[in-house]
Amino acid sequence: MHTMSHNASMATPFQKVLIANRGEIALRVMRSARALGYRTVAVYSTADAQASHVHAADEAVCIGEPLPAQSYLNIPAILEAAKLSGADAIHPGYGFLAENENFAAACRDACLVFIGPSPQAIVSMGDKAGAKRLMIDAGVPCIPGYQGADQSAANLAAQAELLGYPVMIKATAGGGGRGMRLVQHGQEFAELLRSAQSEALNAFGDATVILERAIVEPRHIEIQVFADRHGHAIHLGERDCSVQRRHQKVVEEAPSPAVDAALRERMGATAVAAVQAIGYEGAGTLEFLLDRDGNFYFMEMNTRLQVEHPVTEAITGLDLVAWQLRIAAGEPLPLTQADLHCQGHAIEVRLCAEDVPRGFMPQSGVMRRWQLPDGVRVEHALHSGAVIPPYYDSMVAKLIAHGSSRDEARRKLLRALHDLVALGVTTNQAFLSRCLAHPVFAAGEATTAFIAQNEADLLHVAASAQSQAAAVAAWLLHRTAGHHADANTHAHMHSESGRQLAHALPMGMRLQIQGHDVQVSVTQTAPHDFVLRMGEVQHSITAVNVTQHEARFVLDRVMQQVAFEREGHHLWLLHQGQPYEVLDRTRMASARQGETGGDGKVRATMNGRVVAIAVAVGDQVQAQQPLVTLEAMKMEHVHAAPVAGKVVALHVVDGEQVQAHRVVVEIEAAGLVAQAASH
């Protein structure tokens, strides 16, 4: 930054802000920037050419190929985009380059205002060992530990004994839970140290670790701080981020149910002292662990805006991104500590594209139907038909509810999750509802161990709910299977006698719901009345009104409605807050191999990258011969020929990312032509 005499001017004005990020945070930053009169520039990878943040900006520049290293982490390409568009400031959002000191320094060297702290502040807080030493010097309580230079296995083992077990091993360059191990006993120390160091070396290029005494079942409490270049610093209270899995936050709230006014004042004053000790500027967050006895310990500092900043905005009524922009331009903080007043309670959940029962595996694909609930704030970059690419973080939206009490905020958020329509890509929507509804969370007693300790409850879907959803799905698919698709409007309600249906035959259907096969028999007993049987279980449905995307009906004497999306044999359904993916296999050839059809079309069984193609167009193949290999989440899946025949089409190239259910190879088998004609 230009060196300026303090009395002349401390201002660094700018006119046009480039947002070096994507998705919901890019849109969030643009909203505040535009409100303050700034022009905005988006950057995008080739995978994001049609993304919402690109359309929302005044200008947009493509910065490279889909992989983050080729685009959103490509510092020269981002600086070039600023130059091309005439942007004079850069906001990094969070993730990607937000805490990269080289990026902050490169912006300053290019005479661009970096909307964030100085490169020195990022460096000093980015190294866990160095940050801890700084905090101890500033009088901030830290977890007892070892952050010394002697990294020999023998010395580290001796230090762990001195600290007393359980002990945490943490990579100093780490984040996101990588290079982190909990050691319960001395005999497992050597092996866990080795695995933590190798993981740290692979993830960050640095095997250095620190040791800390493990705090058992703590709360994760963070304090939001802001500091300007005029020497002022304040805190905006705390957020409780205890509900997490594998060190990734799932639910965040403000204020914390575990923090009273006296503790808030102590933690806040500590955080302010810490940022003043390092001459910090901008938004930052100090993360602490709070033990059962009310002792708190510094864990790390995030030198950027946090994903969960909206809960603080909700209770303070402030726009934290606007504050970041004002401070970066050289303005003093808009408030003093005494001016700050918080109201009510706010809770946020992170909606992620992931398959919860399958180990929270990240998902990608097309969000076919996206409809927001009323009464809550939703930060997102989606619309019906939006593509969720497989290259970036799995978080696709955040829902934030604000209420006069914690329970009111919790109820509002539960209601919103029940009403949110997100069909086409598997998400953690129902899992989030179960977290919020759990008695431990409802009582305000969740610690960082909450998800692990209650996993069985949180992953459980009641059999009765699944059975009802299967009945609704079978009914909806049955409606459009025959020729009675128009017999569902009010006009027909009483006009048909139903006498011709007296001997209605049950129709057998084979469905796949959430990957499980279900046999359903459907009997139409009157124009609008259906009986659905699955083994011993029976449900009755009376149609009330069905449109293209919504259905209202009476299920077992209770009137309900569902949102759905239909495409061929595929049905996506939101029933009682739980989304279901259903495949109608009734008319598909029964001798199926995975997703590969008797129709000769081989479909991808999951979203993945093509790593091998074993055939070419024109090749003769045998049944079960390997055709294409996909890699998803570091596992390889071979797709084989369903029938013997000739390869007539190959729809993929090596290295390409494909979506689940997409046709990858077509095979023409003998006798298939006659079969096709009969359909």
CA–CA gap between residue 450 and residue 448 (Å, rounded): 6
567 belongs to a structural domain = yes
At residue 487, the pLDDT reads 37
Query: Is residue 480 a part of any domain in this protein?
Result: yes
pLDDT in tens, 109-126: 999 999 999 999 999 998
What pTM does this model have? 0.82
Asked if the model's pLDDT at residue 548 lies above 60, the reply is yes
* Domain boundary pick from 74, 98, 115: 115
Q: What is the pLDDT of residue 673?
A: 42
Same domain for 321 and 449: yes
The answer as to whether 126 is a domain residue is no
Q: Which of 115, 132, 167 is the last residue of a domain?
A: 115
Q: Look up the CATH number of the domain holding residue 172.
A: 3.30.1490.20
| Three-state SS at 261 | helix
Residue 609: which CATH number? 2.40.50.100
Is the pLDDT reported for residue 271 higher than 60?
yes
Which H or E run includes 31?
helix 23-35
Residue 467's CATH number: 3.30.700
Rounded CA-CA distance 471/463 in Å is 12
2 belongs to a structural domain: no
Q: What CATH number should be reported for the domain holding residue 394? A: 3.30.470.20
| Together in a domain, 564 and 623 | no
Query: What mean pLDDT is predicted for residues 315-335?
Result: 98
pLDDT at 145 over 50: yes
Q: Are residues 22 and 79 in the same domain?
A: yes
Q: How far apart are CA 358 and CA 577, in angstroms?
A: 19
- Helices assigned H by DSSP within 224-334: 261-277, 309-316, 320-328
Are 448 and 477 members of one domain? Answer: no
Q: For residue range 426-468, what is the model confidence (pLDDT) as tens digits?
A: 999 999 999 999 999 999 999 999 999 999 999 998 999 999 9
Reduced to 3 states (helix: H, G, I; strand: E, B; else coil), residue 357 is: coil
Confidence of residue 497 (pLDDT cuts 50, 70, 90): very low
Number of domains in the chain: 5
Query: Does any domain span residue 26?
Result: yes
Predicted confidence (pLDDT) at residue 4 exceeds the cutoff of 80: no
Question: Which of the pair, 341 or 216, is modelled with greater confidence?
Answer: 341
Contact call for residues 141 and 298 (beta carbons, < 8 A): yes
- pLDDT, residue 491, reads 33
Q: Give the pairing type, strands 282-290 and 219-227.
A: antiparallel
Whether 249 maps to a domain, the answer reads: no
Q: Give the model confidence (pLDDT) of 164-177 as tens digits.
A: 999 999 998 876 67
Q: 320-328 and 23-35 helices cross at what angle (nearest 10)?
A: 70
Q: Which residues span the domain enclosing 48?
A: 16-115
Residues 449 and 540 in one domain: no
Is the predicted pLDDT of residue 237 greater than 90, yes or no?
yes
Long-range contacts of 403-406 (CB under 8 A, 24+ apart): 403/344, 403/345, 403/346, 404/343, 404/344, 404/345, 405/344, 405/345, 406/253, 406/257, 406/345, 406/347, 406/444
Q: Average pLDDT of the chain?
A: 90
Looking at the structure, tell me whether residues 183 and 64 fall in a common domain.
no
Co-location of 45 and 167 in the same domain: no
Grade residue 489 by pLDDT with cuts at 50, 70 and 90: very low
When pLDDT is cut at 50, 70 and 90, the band that residue 593 belongs to is very low
- Statement to judge: residues 369 and 434 lie in one domain: yes
More confident residue, 177 or 36: 36
Same structural domain, 449 and 530? no
Q: Tell me: the pLDDT tens digits for 618-667?
A: 999 988 888 998 877 556 778 988 888 999 988 888 888 888 888 999 99
- CA-based max dimension of the chain: 94
**Angle between helix 320-328 and 309-316 (nearest 10):** 100
- Residues with catalytic function: 304
Reported as a single tens digit per residue, the pLDDT across 389-437 is 989 999 999 999 999 999 999 999 999 999 999 999 999 999 999 999 9
**Do residues 235 and 297 share a domain?**
yes
Is the domain of 307 the same as that of 367? yes
Higher pLDDT among residues 143 and 24, named by residue:
24
The helix/strand/coil state of 511 is strand
| Mean pLDDT confidence for 364-380 | 97
Quick check: is 488 in a domain? Answer: yes
Domain with 39 in it: what CATH number? 3.40.50.20
Residue 311 has pLDDT above 90, yes or no: yes
Is-contact 317 333, C-beta < 8 A?
A: no
Q: Which residue among 411, 430, 459 closes a domain?
A: 459
* Nearest C-alpha neighbor of 289 from the set 113, 100, 143, 446: 143
Indicate whether 278 and 228 sit together in one domain.
yes
**Any domain includes 308:** yes
Strands in 246-385 per DSSP E? 248-254, 282-290, 296-302, 345-352, 354-355, 361-362, 365-367, 369-371, 377-380
